[in-house]
Chains A and B, each alone.
Chain A
Amino acid sequence: MAKPAALSEERTVPPTEPERVPGPVLKRLAGPTAWADERTGAAGLGKYFLRKVFPDHWSFLLGEIALYSFVILLLTGVFLTLWYKPSMAEIEYEGSYQLLRGVAVSEAFASTLDISFDIRGGLLMRQVHHWSAMLFVAAMFAHMLRVFFTGAFRKPREINWVIGVALLSLGLIEGFAGYSLPDDLLSGTGLRFVDGLIRSIPVVGTWAEFFVFNGEFPGDLIISRLYMAHILLIPGILLGLIAAHMALLVYHKHTQYPGPGRTDKNVVGYPLYPIYMAKAGGFFFIVFGVTVLMGATMQINPLWTYGPYNPSQVTAGSQPDWYMGWVEGAIRIMPGWESHIGGTTWSWNIFLPGVGLLTLLFVLLGVYPWVEAWLTGDKREHHVLERPRANATRTAFGVAGITCFSLFMIGGGNDIIAVMFNLSLNTISVVLRWAVFLGPVLAFIITKRICIALQRTDQERLLHGSESGVIQRSPVGGYSEDHRPISQGEAYTLTHHNEYPPLPAEGVSKRQLQARRWFYGDNMSKPTRAELEAAASHGHDGDGHDGDGHGGNGHEVAGRESRELSSSRD
C-alpha cells in the first residue's frame, strides 16, 4: 500500500506504452471493457495483473505441470463420474469383456469395465486420468525439489512452502483413494494393506478400522466413502490450497535465478500478457496433449487382467502406485517387531514404517524452512535463488533425503528388481535395512564435498578467469596455462549468492554457534572487492610468476578457506 512511494522517481518516466491509435480492435473493445469495468472494476485488476513480469526458466514450469495435471484430472474425472457407480453391491458382469463374463463382481468394478470397454473414449479418459494422476504427484515432487535446492522456500515464502507440503500430502491421499475405487484385485489388496495399517495404530487402531470400513474389512461402504473423499472432499481442499498457493505466488512475485541485472529488489522476465499467457497457456495444452498421447499409447492399470477384488486372491507384483512405493518399501524391509504387553499387541513393524514414516516426512518437510533459518540466523528476505552449490549443507540434506527415499522405493519394488536382475529378494531386503541409514549419510558427505569443490571452481574462475587451454612455457622452463578473465555478467552471477554472517558472530549462543559452524562454516566465502581487483591486476602482471600457476592458486584458495573458518571479517 505505502510501498509505491519509493517508486515516485520512476513514475516520472512515462512507461513505454504502445501508441494509442484507436484502431478497430481498440474501438470494439472499448464498449465491453467499459461495461465490465463499471460493474467490477476489472480495469484496475487488468492494469495490475496483465503486465506482471514472470521470469523464464524451465525449472519454473515444473509446478505448472502439477497445476495443469490437476486441471486435466478435474476434466477427465468429471467424465468418469458420469458412468462410475461407487457401489460394492455384488452383480454378475455382463459387459463386453469376454474373459470376465458371468463372474460375480462389485458394481464399482463392473462400471469401470463398462467405461473401459463399452463407452467410446472411456478407456482413453480412464488412462489419461490415471497417467495425469501419476504426473500430478511426480510434478509436485519435482517442483518441491526445485524449490528446496534453490532455497525458494526462504523468507517470505515459508507459508507457501507449507501449503505446498500440504498439497503434496493431500495429493498422495487423493491418489490412493482413486487407486482404490475400481475395486479390482490390486486396489483391494491395497485397501487390505490400509486396513492393516490403520489397525496397527496403538490404542485406537481397531476403533479407527471399524469406523473407516463400517465394521470388519472390507465392509460395504469403503468404496462410496472413498469416492466422496476422492471427488469432493480432497479436491475441494486441494482447490482451496492451490488458490492460496497461487495468490501468494502473485503477491510475492516469482523468484529468479541470479544473473546480470537480477537483484533482490526486482524481477526480470516477460509480461503475463501476452508472452507469458501464450507460453503458459501453450504449456497447458502441451501437458494435456502429452498426457492424452500417453493415455492412447501406454496401457495403465489394466484392471480387467487383475480381476475383481477377492480377499482370497493375490497376484505377484502387488504394488501401490509409485508415490506410495517408498512406504511400501519401508514396510517390506522392516524387521518383524511387535510387543505383546498383557492382552495387547503393539505392531511396531507396521506402525513405525507406515504411519510413522509418513508423518516424519511431512513434518520434516514442513518445518525445514524454520530449521534452516535457525541454523543460519538468516532473517532477511530472499528473492534471488541460490544455486545448489552455494548452500552445500542444504543441498547435501536434499540429496541425502532423495537417497533415502529412493532406497525405500527400491524396497517397494524389490520383487520386480529381484526377477529383473537375478538377485535374491532376501538379500535386497537385508542390504536395504542397512542402506537406508548408511546411504543418506554417505550421500550427505559426498554431496557436501562436491558442492564445496564446485564453490572452489567458482572462486577459481572469479580470481583467475577461465582456463584457455593455451599452455605457455616460461624462459626458465616452467609451464603455465593462460587464463582469460570472465565477463562481468558471470562474475556478478557467481558472487550474488547469499552469504551468512561470519563466525563467531555476536549475540549467538554457544549451541547456535556450533550449529552455524556446522551448517555453513565449510562454505567458501566470496572474495571482497579489493581481492577481486588485486587478482585482476595480478593477472595483468603476467601469468606463471612462480613457474606453476596452479600450485599458487591452490594455496591461495586453501588459505582463504581457513581464514574464513578461523576469523571474522567485519
Chain B
Amino acid sequence: MSHTGGSDISVRDTRTSAGTTRSDDERFPVDNPGVEHEPPRWTDADPDAGRSAYTFVVGCFALVPVLAIAFVVIYFAVPQDVFIDVGSNHYMAQHLLLGLTLGLAILLIGVGAVQWARLLMDDTERTEERHTAASSAETRTAAIDIVYQGLQETNLGRRKLIGRSLLGALGVLVAPAAVLLADLGPWPTARVRAETIERTIWGEGVRLVNDVTYEPILAADLEIGQLVNAEPENLQEFHGHHLQVERAKAAIIVVRMDPNSITIPESRSSWHVNGILSYSKICTHVGCPISLWEQQTHHLLCPCHQSTFDLGNSGVVVFGPAARSLPQLPISTDAEGYLIATSDFTVPVGPSYFERDSRNDYEDGDA
C-alpha cells in the first residue's frame, strides 16, 4: 500500500491539546507551549459578520455567470477593428474586453473560494504526526532479503554470463539509437565547411545593391559620413530558407569616410574606392547584424552585446566581447561607376567555430 508516509491520521483539536511539553532534548531549552489558542473569528462570533461574509462569497460566484455571458456577447458583437483610445494608446476593444471579462470571472471564483475557506469554513488548526522518511530497520532488512532471494532464484550466481551478456546487449543498443541521429544535419567536414560557412555569394564583379530595394550603388553618390546597408546583387536569385542562409552571411555595410582621417594598411590599399569601404554586417562575436555606425568616430557598435569595431582601422575591435576584426570586403567600381566586389571575403564571416583558421584575420598593426 502507499501508506508509507504515515497513514495514521491522529487529528487532535489543538484548542484542547494546548499544553506545555517539556522536551528532554537539550537542544531545545524552552518548553513547547503547544499550538496557540485562537479566539473565535468575527464571522463565527458575530452573526452579522458571518452573514456579510456569506453574501460576499455568494456575490463573487454570482458575478461569474454575468461576466461569462458578457464575454460571449463581446466575442460575437464587438468587431475586431474597433479601438478604445486612452491617451496616446489605442487598445483593441475586443481583445481588452474579452480579457477583462474572462480575467475577472476567473479571479472572482478564486477570491470567493478563498474567502469561503478563510471566513466560513472551520479553521481549526490540526496537528498531524510526522515520521522519518526512512522505513523501519526491519522493513529495510526484509526488502534486502527479498532482493537477495530473487537473485538466488535467478541462478545468476552460478550462471554469471547471463547477467553480463544482458547488460552488454542493452549497452550496445545505444549504438543504433545514436546512429539514427547521424542524419540530423549534413556533416561539417572540411569540404562541406568550404561550401557553406566558409564562403558567401560574393565574388568578383558582383554589384553591391541597396538592401530591400536592390538598387545598385554609384560610388559618386556616396557622401562622406554615409552608411548604406547593402547586399550582393545575386541575392535576388535566392528564395525561402536559401535566401535566409545566404543573407545571414552576405549582408554588408558600405561606409564612406574621409581618406585622410582613416588608416588603410598597404595590403588593403586597393580594397576601397576613395574612402568607400565595405565590411561584413555580421558580427564576429555571435553573428548579430551590426549597423550602428558613428560617422564621426568611425566606430561600429553591435546592439546585441556591444562589441565595437573601428571601421577607420580595418574593422579592429575597440571594445566588447568580440575577439576578431570585422571582415572587409574588397571593392572597386565597374565601367558605369557602380560599386562591385573584387572577390569574396578573404576570411569566413560571422562567429567563430572550432575548425576556423583565424590566423589570416586582420589584427591591429598588420601591414
- Using a CB–CB cutoff of 8 Å, the interface residues on chain A facing chain B are 1-4, 6-7, 10-11, 13, 15-16, 44-45, 47-48, 51-53, 88-90, 96, 117-118, 120-121, 123-124, 127-128, 156, 189, 192-193, 195-197, 199-207, 209-220, 250-253, 260-271, 274-276, 278-279, 281-293, 295-297, 309-318, 328, 331-338, 340, 343-347, 349-350, 353, 381, 383, 414-415, 425-426, 429, 488-489, 491-492, 494-496, 499, 526-529, 531-532, 570
Contacts and interface: CB of A to CB of B under 8 A. Distances in A.
A251 B3 CA distance: 9
Contact of A260 (B10, B33, B193): B33
Q: Chain B CB within 10 Å — which of A285, A332, A383 has the most?
A: A285
A250 B102 CA distance: 33
B304 A211 contact: no
Interface stretch (B183-191, B258-266, B337-345): B183-191
Contact of B126 (A203, A268, A315): A268
Contacts of B193: 206
Interface in B247-293: 247-249, 251, 281-282, 285-292
Interface string B285-318: 1111111100000000001111100000000010
A357 to B, nearest CB: 13
A2 B135 contact: yes
Interface in B1-29: 1-14, 18, 20, 26-29
Nearest to A222: B241
Nearest to A72: B106
A10 B10 contact: yes
B31 A488 contact: yes
B286 A331 contact: yes
Contacts of B139: 1-2
Contacts of B251: 311-312
Q: Which of A264, A317, A347 has the most CB of B within 10 A?
A: A347
Contacts of A156: 132-134
A156 B135 CA distance: 12
A266 B23 CA distance: 14
Contact of B287 (A217, A286, A495): A217
B119 to A, nearest CB: 11
Interface stretch (B40-48, B150-158, B166-174, B349-357): B349-357
B73 interface: no
A119 B257 CA distance: 51
Given A193-B286, A292-B103, A311-B248, A1 B3 contact: yes
Contact of B116 (A278, A295, A315, A353): A278
B288 A318 contact: yes
Contacts of A331: 286, 305, 321
Contacts of B10: 7, 10-11, 13, 15
B144 interface: no
Interface residues of B, number: 125
Nearest to A202: B354
Contact of A292 (B99, B132, B249): B99
B104 to A, nearest CB: 7
Interface string B87-106: 00000101110111011111
A290 B108 CA distance: 10
B352 A200 contact: yes
Given A10-B129, A261-B33, A349-B285, A289 B181 contact: no
Contacts of A276: 117
5 contacts: A48-B3, A48-B7, A200-B353, A218-B244, A345-B358
A261 B286 CA distance: 58
Contacts of B359: 340, 343
A205 B354 contact: yes
Contacts of B290: 314
B145 interface: no
A310 B35 CA distance: 64
A316 B303 contact: yes
A261 B35 contact: yes
A57 to B, nearest CB: 12
Contact of A314 (B33, B113, B288): B288
A220 B355 contact: no
B126 A210 contact: no
A275 B121 contact: yes
B104 A289 contact: yes
Given A90-B243, A347-B352, 11 more contacts: A10-B129, A53-B126, A196-B287, A265-B129, A282-B114, A289-B105, A293-B100, A311-B282, A317-B303, A336-B307, A528-B26
Nearest 8 interchain pairs by C-beta: A296-B99, A289-B107, A196-B286, A285-B110, A261-B35, A282-B113, A338-B323, A292-B103
Contacts of A333: 321
Contacts of B2: 45, 48
B192 to A, nearest CB: 8
B83 interface: no
B32 A529 contact: no
A214 B42 CA distance: 67
A338 B126 CA distance: 62
A314 B127 contact: no
Contacts of B211: 312
A350 B285 contact: yes
A195 B351 contact: yes
A48 B5 CA distance: 10
A400 B98 CA distance: 44
A267 B28 contact: no
B109 interface: yes
B197 interface: yes
B160 interface: no
A241 to B, nearest CB: 19
B163 interface: no
Nearest to A335: B321
B128 A53 contact: yes
Nearest to A337: B323
A215 B109 contact: no
Contacts of A429: 306, 319-320
A206 B102 CA distance: 48
Interface string B233-253: 000000111011101110100
A429 to B, nearest CB: 7
A496 to B, nearest CB: 7
Contacts of A195: 286-287, 351
A250 to B, nearest CB: 7
A279 B110 CA distance: 8
Given A53-B126, A124-B95, A265-B129, A252 B5 contact: yes
B110 A282 contact: yes
Contacts of A269: 125-126
B112 to A, nearest CB: 7
B196 interface: yes
Contacts of A353: 321
Given A210-B185, A261-B32, A282-B112, A7 B5 contact: no
B48 to A, nearest CB: 23
